[in-house]
Amino acid sequence: MRNLTFLGLSFNLLQGNLPIPSFGVEYFVVSNNKFNGHISSSFCNASSLVILNLSHNNLSGHIPKCLVALPYLESLDLHTNNFVGSIPNNFSKSNSLQSLHLNNNQFEGVLPLSLTHCKQLEVLDVGENTINDEFSNWLEGLLELEILILRGNKFYGAIYISNTKHPFPKLRIFYVSNNCFEGSLPTTYIKEFKGMMNVDYVATNPDYMETNHSYQESVMVTLKGVELELVRIITTFTSIDLSNNIFDGEIPQVIGELHSLKGLNLSHNKITGPIPQSFANLTNLESLDLSSNMLKGKIPLALANLNFLEVLNLSQNQLVGKIPRGKQFDTFLNDSYEQNLGLCEFPLSKACNHDEGKLPQPTSSSNDKFGFGWKPVAMGYACGMVFGILIGQVVFLIGKPKGLVRIFQARPKKQAKKKKKTKKELVQIKGE
């Protein structure tokens, strides 16, 4: 056993305490078992370790500080266990770390500043923990970083750039969902995502991420709305997930320059404004989720030309007008557009009017054809009623005004005299 350099025991039913690797072991992979207990500090005696994968077990406790200081360690994978406490802050300046998977544990505290020493780091996944920290913009100095996953923690505040000239030039997966980030979307960073701008067409033999020792990386991603583990990370996979935060403002047009982007999720924020016309340039996009925001305006017709789009969710916004038709858009159902009261046409049952999207104009009724409507009539009626009440009060207080009495009683008296005269004439006629 002294000459053993490779030990792979993954996907078994092994349980109990972790076996401790001997001094010369370089590859120690025991993932997907039922090991429990703590990581013994004796692990640090295996100073030749290059690959250490303890993921998908029932391990707990703190990580020994010496573990992250091993000089030849290229990949440390501890995800999906029950580790607690803070992430050690003693990453050495001479470390060889290329990937660090600490996701799906119970780590707390802040991201350790000594991670800046990991100049070769390509994958950093600390998702689904309870880390409580601002966005660590010093991470932008890790120029080899391709995958940054911070989702499902307690990160807060705005995401802003520091003084780095070209931050994150190789970044291809950027997940910061389910946190408390706020302010505008990180436009300055997005402008520098060069790794998402160049379209790498899939060759006959696709390229996968691996360490210097041909160890292939895996990572938890959200693909077309479904969370899964990519056992092998293809280098052409690019995705951004900023969902479930408190981002506001408009969607930056520059996102349309990320030509190789396959997945974009900005849902459950407070984003306003229109859907950018530049989204029509995302010709490799397979999944787009903009739901549960405050987006306005019409859906750009050019989005119907996105031939690879399989998942679309624009629900719970304030979009209006006719839904584009053709190609992929003809495959999307009602739930892609629900709770947008101004949208119409297929697949919705609501038909579009010719004036759809315009402000309603005042209408005139048939009573207005003579130049007046119900409002002037109502005003005249009200004024007349008030005048009548006032006259009534005057009569009640001062009695019958003589002028009015003369006017209204003059005619009845003349009529009475005429009636008497007519009666007398009738008597004379009878006498004759």
SS (H, E, C) 380-422: HHHHHHHHHHHHHHHHHHHCCCHHHHHHHHHHHHHHHHHHHHH
Q: Which of 303, 307, 244 is nearest to 278 (CA)?
A: 303
The predicted structure's pLDDT at residue 371: 42
DSSP string spanning 269-332?
A: SEEEEPPPGGGGG-TT--EEE--SSEEEEPPPGGGGG-TT--EEE--SSEEEEEPP-SGGGGG-
Q: Are residues 139 and 243 in the same domain?
A: yes
Please work out, in degrees rounded to the nearest 5, the angle formed at the alpha carbon of residue 290 by the alpha carbons of 190 and 318. 125
pLDDT tens digits for range 122-141:
999 999 999 999 999 999 98
Q: 356 lies in a domain?
A: no
Q: 422 lies in a domain?
A: yes
pLDDT tens digits for range 41-52:
998 899 999 999
The Cα–Cα gap between 264 and 314 comes to: 12
Q: Which of 334, 329, 342 is nearest to 274 (CA)?
A: 342
List strands edge to edge, sheet with 82-86: 15-16, 34-37, 58-61, 82-86, 106-108
Strands 219-223 and 226-230, sheet pairing: antiparallel
Mean pLDDT of 312-327: 94
The predicted structure's pLDDT at residue 412: 44
Q: 351 lies in a domain?
A: no
Q: What percent of the chain has pLDDT over 70?
A: 78
For residue 346, give the 3-state DSSP assignment: coil
Residue count of the chain, please give it.
432
Q: CATH number for the domain including 107?
A: 3.80.10.10
pLDDT of 96 above 90: yes
List strands edge to edge, sheet with 294-297: 156-158, 180-184, 246-250, 270-273, 294-297, 318-322, 342-344
The Cα–Cα gap between 394 and 398 comes to: 6
Q: 399 lies in a domain?
A: yes
The predicted structure's pLDDT at residue 165: 83
Mean pLDDT of 218-230: 79
Mean pLDDT of 204-231: 72
Q: Are residues 336 and 398 in the same domain?
A: no
The predicted structure's pLDDT at residue 176: 97
* Domain stop point among 344, 359, 374: 344
Q: If pLDDT is split at 50, 70 and 90, which confidence band does 237 have? A: confident
> Which helix (H) or strand (E) is 248 found in, with range?
strand 246-250
The Cα–Cα gap between 26 and 244 comes to: 40
Q: What does each C-alpha distance from 95 to 76, 88, 171, 210 come to in angstroms?
A: 12, 14, 21, 17
Q: 293 lies in a domain?
A: yes
One-letter amino acid at 190 equals I
* Domain stop point among 292, 319, 344: 344
pLDDT of 214 above 90: no
Mean pLDDT of 201-217: 62
For residue 140, give the 3-state DSSP assignment: helix
Q: Are residues 340 and 392 in the same domain?
A: no
Mean pLDDT of 339-345: 93
Residues 88, 110: contact at Cβ < 8 Å?
no
Q: Are residues 19 and 150 in the same domain?
A: yes
Sign of CA dihedral 176, 138, 147, 200: positive
pTM (2 d.p.): 0.80
Q: Are residues 398 and 339 in the same domain?
A: no
Residues 320, 300: contact at Cβ < 8 Å?
no
pLDDT of 431 above 50: no
> What value does the mean pLDDT of the chain take?
83
The predicted structure's pLDDT at residue 211: 64
For residue 41, give the 3-state DSSP assignment: helix
The predicted structure's pLDDT at residue 12: 95
Structural domains of the chain, count? 2
Q: Are residues 76 and 169 in the same domain?
A: yes
Q: Are residues 21 and 117 in the same domain?
A: yes
Q: If pLDDT is split at 50, 70 and 90, which confidence band does 408 have? A: very low
pLDDT of 189 above 50: yes
Q: Are residues 283 and 409 in the same domain?
A: no
State which of 10-14, 325-329, 359-363 shows the largest mean pLDDT.
10-14
pLDDT tens digits for range 260-318:
999 999 999 999 999 999 999 999 999 999 999 999 999 999 999 999 999 999 999 99
Is the backbone peptide bond immediately before 71 cis, with ω within 30 degrees of 0?
no
Eight-state DSSP code of residue 15: E
Q: Which of 38, 48, 43 is nearest to 6 (CA)?
A: 48
Mean pLDDT of 343-364: 68
One-letter amino acid at 364 equals S
Q: Are residues 313 and 430 in the same domain?
A: no
Encoding tokens for residue 309? 């789009």
The H helix count followed by the E strand count for the chain is 3, 26
Q: Are residues 409 and 310 in the same domain?
A: no
Q: 199 lies in a domain?
A: yes
In this structure, the number of other CB atoms found within 10 A of the CB of residue 430 comes to: 6
Domain containing 47 equals 6-344
Q: Are residues 62 and 180 in the same domain?
A: yes
The predicted structure's pLDDT at residue 232: 73
Q: 130 lies in a domain?
A: yes
Q: Are residues 414 and 309 in the same domain?
A: no
Q: 366 lies in a domain?
A: no
Phi, psi values for residue 389, rounded to 5°: -65, -40
* Domain stop point among 344, 376, 399: 344
Strands 75-77 and 51-53, sheet pairing: parallel
Residues 180, 155: contact at Cβ < 8 Å?
yes
The predicted structure's pLDDT at residue 234: 76
The predicted structure's pLDDT at residue 404: 44
